[in-house]
Amino acid sequence: LSFTTAWSTNAVSICRSCNLEQVTRIERSRRYALEMAPGVEAEAAFTDEQRAAFAALVHDRMTECVYATRLETFTTDTAPAPVVRIPVMKEGRKALERVNREMGLAFDEWDLDFYTQLFREDIGRDPTNVELFDIAQSNSEHSRHWFFKGDLTVDGQKVDHTLMDLVKDTLKANPNNSVIGFKDNSSAIRGRVISAVLPENPGQPSKLEPQERDYDILFTAETHNFPCAVAPFPGAETGAGGRIRDTHATGVGSLVVAATAGYCVGNLQMEGHAAPWEDTSFQYPPNLAPPLQILLDASDGASDYGNKFGEPLIQGYTRTFGMRLPSGDRREWLKPIMFSGGIGQIDHRHLEKDEPDVGMIVVKIGGPAYRIGMGGGAASSMVSGTRDAEMDFNAVQRGDAEMAQKLNRVVRTCVELGDENPILSIHDQGAGGNCNVVKEIIYPQGAEIDVRSIVVGDETMSILEIWGAEYQEQDALLARPESEALLRSICDRERLSMAVIGTISGSGKVVLFDSREQQEAAAAGKAAPLPAVDLDLDKVLGDMPSKRFDFVRSTDEREPLELPPALTVSEALKRLLRLPSVASKRFLTTKVDRCVTGLVAQQQTVGPLQITLADVAVIAQTHTGITGAACAIGEQPIKGLINPAAMARMAIGEALTNLVWAKVSALEDVKASGNWMYAAKMGGEGAAMYDAAVALKEAMVELGIAVDGGKDSLSMAATAGGETVMAPGNLVMSAYVTCPDITLTVTPDLKLPGEGVLIHVDLSAGHRRVGGSALAHVYDQIGDESPDADVDLLKRGFNAVQDLIGRRLIASGHDISDGGIITAILEMAFAGNTGATVDIPALEGEEEVDVFATLFAEELGLVIEVAPANQDEVLRTLSAAQVPATVIGQVPSSPSSAPLLSVAVAGVPVLEGESMPAWRDVWEESSFLLEHMQRTETCAAAERDGLKHRKEPSWNLGFTPSRTAHELLTASSKPRVAVLREEGSNGDREMAAAVWAAGMEPWDVTVSDLLQGRAKLDDFRGIIFVGGFSYADVLDSAKGWAAAIRFNEALKAQFDAFYQRADTFSLGICNGCQLMALLGWVPGPEVGGVMGEGGDAAQPRFVHNESGRFECRFSTVQIDDSPAVMLRGMEGTRVGIWVAHGEGRALFPSSSLLDSVLSSNLAPIRYCDDDGAPTETYPFNPNGSPAGIAALCSPDGRHLAMMPHPERCYMMWQMPWAPKEWRERMDASGPSPWLKLFQNAREWCQEHPQ
């Protein structure tokens, strides 16, 4: 009650846009009427315990409070807690021990001794509780990485290098293209000079046009494990949000492009579907969420945040594990891994932050302070379950993606100002809140900070809470005083709060004072109160003594894998294909936006059916070119339970065998982020980490690549059932690199039925070890010998395959990883919707063939598909590089019935003529079980059952796409188009690029520009209402945006005048489509609705998807005859298009209205099934719209509203799939059919001069 929710913030913004300035707060609540079940005595009353139990079931304690009576006021009598001084001078260490327990500061023995001495003997005074909290956060393991930087002994022997030295040594050996490494919030490599469509005058209404920029590629990755264990949805939201701010807070500001994600959880124990390898006797900690909830809610949180922010999530991994090892130890991800990575760009001139200088202003931008996320840095550094559960809960932050989007727009505007960028230094606020980020940005000069200058959303917060809370969506900046006005104008345009909280002093201290208390003391004639914080930065943030850690290697015995004696390959495969690390990840990808920005050249889904299988993610640097960057993930934690050094080599090996499918600038250009997740201070885990780090260093130096950043999470354990359960140690390697041509990327879907030749590229030097494999896992074992990497062979293989890709000699390719070669082959067939016939030979000299090792060993390797004409050249190239390669099979012609799979080992069949769709159903089964928990049952079942009968979509093209003529692109006078956005819109830049590519002049215009008179619609021929989540979809999609227009008289007059002009057009996409319907612009007053008969009650609109959730699909649509001017000449075209929305189902208040729209041809675009027929069947129709309606237009054809996104696929490289004949005849770097929609708008403007 004491603080304003993010929902209220957006609702109040809507009211202010409607000129309802008197509204300062709106909160929503739910009331429940409880009734006794039939048959219970009427006089029986609910007990307080029953009411409390019911309330606990129906509310989310992370974001909601329960009130026994109706609220009548927002006023609260809560008083802020005062600053307290801790009696260290009198009581010594005991005082610190007491406050350490009470506040959960995570001080260890070294810390307690060090800080006792610091205050008693050095500073000579009692510390405040604020100072101790401050120190605990900024000097926690989470923030300072004591372990990685500590002095080490292993088995009693002191080692010469810290863990940090070992990983940094790779960059010292292979710096090559690194421009930021092991400093700042992200790492970066040298990019290219490109042409990007950017605003001419950033920070104000402005045309956008191609401008030359020198952009480097950056990458960052971090985890949010502890918060996701406690509260998975907000924990993952803020994990994604914090990493986004890491991305944009690099250098003096940088650009967010795309995300990666990963989830490691314990056994899912799905009710009614427990897997045979899951131990049902395991107990789980009551203070942490169960693994199934973590997997679903955390992936929902990360997806929802990215969807609303406008960052596509284009790659990831998922793993579950829980097992009692032969040693008796239980290993399981009770404390999960929630991994978030981000790839972006940075202007080459913005790489370096300025050092603080006396007189610079300290600025905070972003959302207000709330009492959330208290002590997250310290909490993340502890084993889960070793402190008070309420403290754990309070340490989790909450996210506000719409606020993050506004914050990012401010940073992006500063970046795009180029040499005029007002930001001198920037850090994002994360662990520790202000007490971390402010000290970071003022170090070493120091500053005086007024706590009352910090914008708060809760007036009852104490100084401790304002200074220490980890409220999200905040950055700290340094700027010159003369830049303050510019920063304020940028923030005002984006409706973002900004505060100057202090000035660099040169004292070397951080001083936190309370101006309110000072004024009150002065008025009362009292001495000024002492500061809440007054610390020498060098003593609490500078070089501090190292900690020492003693490791002992584990000597646990390993047992060889023993499979059931009569086990068949079919039986083993049926188990293995259900293991989440092997099985389909469909349940993760269809709920997350994978196309926003229009810069996505490769995301997770591939092939005609868009199966989730891609090995590599690829982004374009710009909409106007084909240079870009690729990233790929490698992690093999289960193998580390056998051999930590082999695990590290296999992790980088997997990253490279995933990355290899993008054409990269050079292997030597590859850099990687290394994220370490271990229970490092327990058992033999510290020694395992050390061995892994040594192996990683040696392998990467030999490969010629390097680690240039990363994070660690070293308290990966939780208590359950009376024992401490360690998670398997994990090293996640995220490799990234520049790409000279994004159109050369190879995908895993088989593409040549009836002619494709399958080749196994063996990068293991002939080994077939099954330790740590998925096969072992599903038989509840680990095994005793792990696969390992032959580093020199890996290097030769990578370079040889890159050569083949550059010459376009590979049709498809896939790495061998979890599940072995048989899984790789089956997955390629699943994705291509084809069969496969393979015979894997015995190893040379192998007398008795081990069929299971041959098929299921997870040794490094590749499977490639080539055309028969290219077979000899491919084999010759691999042989010349001394890379073993063997032809193992063919892709048969697809029969009229289901494609067939046949697999043999050394000539002996193990699968004979089996249905590919049937095996794909097994592979999809676990995903669909999870889907049933996330979507409406009917939709999940429809997609599951329909997949059995899917075939390649039937596309049709009635014209030839062509680029816009150069003279039109460079014309001095072009039709002006307002690319209009509101708070929360996120599709404006790709839209501007599409408008420019069609020969028009796009302008960046916000609703606030129109309200403030900075722009007016009279100046434009077209308006495009872009997609996104205006006002975070508060009050439902686009309703806030519509209200801002309809209920503000001045604004409504502008829009009405524009609509009535005969020389204008409008286009609404996604959120903009919903808006146009709510404005009544489509299907128009002639049909009825807002602007015609019946008013709002008769207005068609777009409502929640039938599936009940956000849907991202590449759907086939058909363009029908209609008056729509933007679709002229496209009639009869049937083609794929990106869809990404949660509320896209067309709702018609009456059947007669629907009939009228259809008979008048005002529904020009409709979703189609694989046969090309308009459909209501899910998932062909992703939202359940009647008659497959995807768009509406006005009777005069000038106004078109559509839910799908043509601006995200107007170039062929943005299309995730196209039929073979299209790929053969169309330029991969040229326009797709969707560019014509925008070209038609330009031509119409030329035909109808203003």
CA 1183 to CA 1191: how far, in whole Å? 12
- By DSSP bridging, strand 712-713 and strand 509-513 are unpaired
* Residue 1066 dihedral angles phi and psi, to the nearest 5°: -140, 150
Length of the chain: 1250
CA 346 to CA 35: how far, in whole Å? 60
- Of 503, 329, 498, 336, residue with least CA distance to 403: 498
Does an H or E element contain 509, and which? strand 509-513
Query: What's the DSSP call for residue 954?
Result: -
CA 279 to CA 276: how far, in whole Å? 8
CA 399 to CA 232: how far, in whole Å? 12
Q: Is 1207 designated active site?
A: yes
Contacts of 720 (CB under 8 A, 6+ apart): 282, 283, 284, 285, 334, 385
- By DSSP bridging, strand 836-840 and strand 885-890 are antiparallel
CA 383 to CA 328: how far, in whole Å? 20
CA 1190 to CA 1184: how far, in whole Å? 10
The tokens for 44 are: 């029986």
- Contact indicator for 293, 232 with CB cutoff of 8 Å: yes
Which residues are registered as beta bridge partners of 151? 548
- Contact indicator for 367, 473 with CB cutoff of 8 Å: yes
- Of 199, 225, 202, residue with least CA distance to 211: 199
The tokens for 22 are: 């008197």
Does an H or E element contain 645, and which? helix 644-659
Residue 1195: cis peptide before it, omega within 30 degrees of 0: no
**Secondary structure class of 274 (helix, strand, coil):** coil
The tokens for 605 are: 């889904």
Q: Which of 237, 865, 1207, 1243 is catalytic?
A: 1207
The tokens for 379 are: 């909490």
Query: What's the DSSP call for residue 960?
Result: -
Place of tokens 């090309």: 1172
- Of 215, 197, 1230, 1233, residue with least CA distance to 623: 197
Assign residue 211 a region (left: φ > 0; alpha: ψ between -120 and 50; beta: otherwise).
beta
CA 709 to CA 242: how far, in whole Å? 16
- Contact indicator for 208, 662 with CB cutoff of 8 Å: no
Residue 1083: cis peptide before it, omega within 30 degrees of 0: yes
Q: Which of 414, 1070, 1168, 1245 is catalytic?
A: 1070
Residue 1179: cis peptide before it, omega within 30 degrees of 0: yes
Place of tokens 């239980």: 330
Q: Is 1205 designated active site?
A: yes
895 burial type by CB count under 10 A (0-12 exposed, 13-18 middle, 19+ buried): exposed
172 burial type by CB count under 10 A (0-12 exposed, 13-18 middle, 19+ buried): exposed
Contacts of 516 (CB under 8 A, 6+ apart): 452
Contacts of 523 (CB under 8 A, 6+ apart): none
Q: Which of 1205, 1209, 1243, 1245 is catalytic?
A: 1205
Cβ neighbour number for residue 48 with a 10 Å cutoff: 8
Does an H or E element contain 1152, and which? helix 1151-1159
- Contact indicator for 720, 284 with CB cutoff of 8 Å: yes
* Residue 769 dihedral angles phi and psi, to the nearest 5°: -95, 140
User: CA-CA distances (angstroms) from residue 800 to 817, 862, 869, 870?
Assistant: 20, 12, 18, 15
Catalytically active residues are 1070, 1205, 1207
